[in-house]
A and B are shown apart, each in its own frame.
Chain A
């Protein structure tokens, strides 16, 4: 899951990026409000962690302007401003969650997962499509109750497809889900990962839409 972290404090930003990476997130880190707004409008992230006291442009202004621009991704505001009026304003302007520093990294990760899940209309923590179940918190996958071992990229790809089950995702969209900044994307990387997933989970699960991308059908009529 790829998220954007907007935090100007070098030490905290570094810690949050490292911690969220440990918990399976792909993290892009920006240090000012202008950059945060630019990236949120340009790229597709699963969610964003936004500090309010950002240089150049206050986090609240960033939030207001991306919402105005039609960006709907879940935004978690992480700030030192703990006053109730601040919280209310943050949520009203368009934050999906409001967390006061300091925060436990596991809690932050859980909140982010919950935000992403809800943004995709999933009520439960575990995603399940056909006979495949995926637990984002434990980063585990089972097929018909049997555990399946996936690499980090394969997991992220499957997670993205399952979150968007019934929708077609282009190769570029999938790449954005899988790679953060500075990570080399090989030209056929997605094809390779899809190939591996089909080998591990069966060929029927992921369908190719030629010239468009890949999709995962919610329910497939079982062959008789």
Chain B
């Protein structure tokens, strides 16, 4: 597993990396510049020394001391060497200079600088010659001495920086630590939260860079709070709604236990079973609704709504016929919508069941599926008692039931229908049926 990277470490690395980088570039530039200046200075010294030697030779050529070594006058002297040749012969040299000419004689053109190596050592050599007498002078200096001067320059300028680097790192660490303090504050506040605490986070003096994050976080908290609240209400409503069927089951079971006559016991036991069926149906509806409300992704595929409607009406027909009701389907073939077949079946069944159950005996229920320029509509009409406009408005609130209907129901069917329609982005309209006088429910699917 990859360790999470600390923002503080990242900032610290960046700052220190940049400081060291800038420092290295500065050092490189200093090196180049110092070397150039040093070369110019020392080369001019070499040239000057050579010129002096040439002039001196021109004045006094002491044949007796020809080939003699010049005395060593300073501890740095071994690093500097010179040779004086007169008419091709060594006239004078420093003690550390070789007997052979440091550069080959090339006649008059040999003047100038050259870097050579004698043995293992690199030398910077300046060659000069006298005009009047055949004097050739070589002045050499060990390259090593230049390098040590350069190092000294670098040391003096960059040494303090090197010492300062740990201090700088410490200071940068402290500064970054201070800089990310609001982040730590938010982190601590979040860590200490109980899962129920969903009030917005407020951080004193939070920097503007953190505002988008805090806003997003608080928005999320708000949405979670809403979700939790709706869950809580749903659970409370559901528990509340299950109390009555359970109370009925309990009462009927107790009646069966205490019954003296067989007929009474039988009646109570049958009622107990009915109560169980009702509680089961209620639980199923609650589960359907909770799944729908959980916002799970539904895979929508092309579905023939006409076929689905025919199937549902075929299933519901026996109930309608038992109430001497007329039920019919007017549909064009095929009406394709993008949807979830199971959910759409549940929705149509809810609508049809409602129409049949709340309709009086002998009523008419008509289900129509139409397709107009790609807009598929499912319209269910009945000749039942209809609904007041107040009730129509309240329809679809969880557990709302039309009073005095004489039908047992949970009031969940409409919530489920609306949720399923929402999943399909379909629009549900409830109105009075013009043709049959009862309720008209229109579900229109998007094109």
Interface residues of A (CB under 8 A from B): 9-12, 14-16, 18-19, 22-23, 32, 55-56, 80-82, 100-106
Contacts and interface: CB of A to CB of B under 8 A. Distances in A.
Nearest to A33: B403
B243 A102 contact: yes
Contacts of B248: 9, 11-12, 14-15
Nearest to A51: B244
Given A18-B255, A19-B254, A104-B250, A80 B403 contact: no
Nearest to B408: A10
A100 B250 CA distance: 13
Nearest to A100: B243
B383 interface: no
Interface of B: 240-241, 243-252, 254-255, 258-260, 264, 267-268, 271, 274-275, 278, 403-405, 408
Contacts, number: 83
B251 A102 contact: yes
Nearest to A18: B255
Contacts of A12: 244-245, 247-248, 251
Contact of B408 (A11, A32, A81, A103): A11
16 contacts: A9-B244, A9-B248, A11-B245, A12-B247, A12-B251, A15-B248, A15-B252, A15-B271, A18-B264, A19-B251, A80-B244, A80-B247, A101-B243, A101-B246, A103-B250, A105-B251
Contacts of B251: 12, 15-16, 18-19, 102-103, 105
Contact of B258 (A10, A14, A19, A81): A19
Contacts of A18: 251-252, 255, 259, 264, 267-268
Nearest to A101: B247
Given A19-B258, A22-B255, A9 B264 contact: no
Contacts of A106: 254
A205 to B, nearest CB: 30
A19 B403 contact: no
Given A10-B408, A11-B408, A56-B404, A80 B243 contact: yes
Contact of B240 (A9, A82, A102, A105): A82
Contacts of A101: 243-244, 246-247
A83 B20 CA distance: 69
Contacts of B403: 32, 55-56
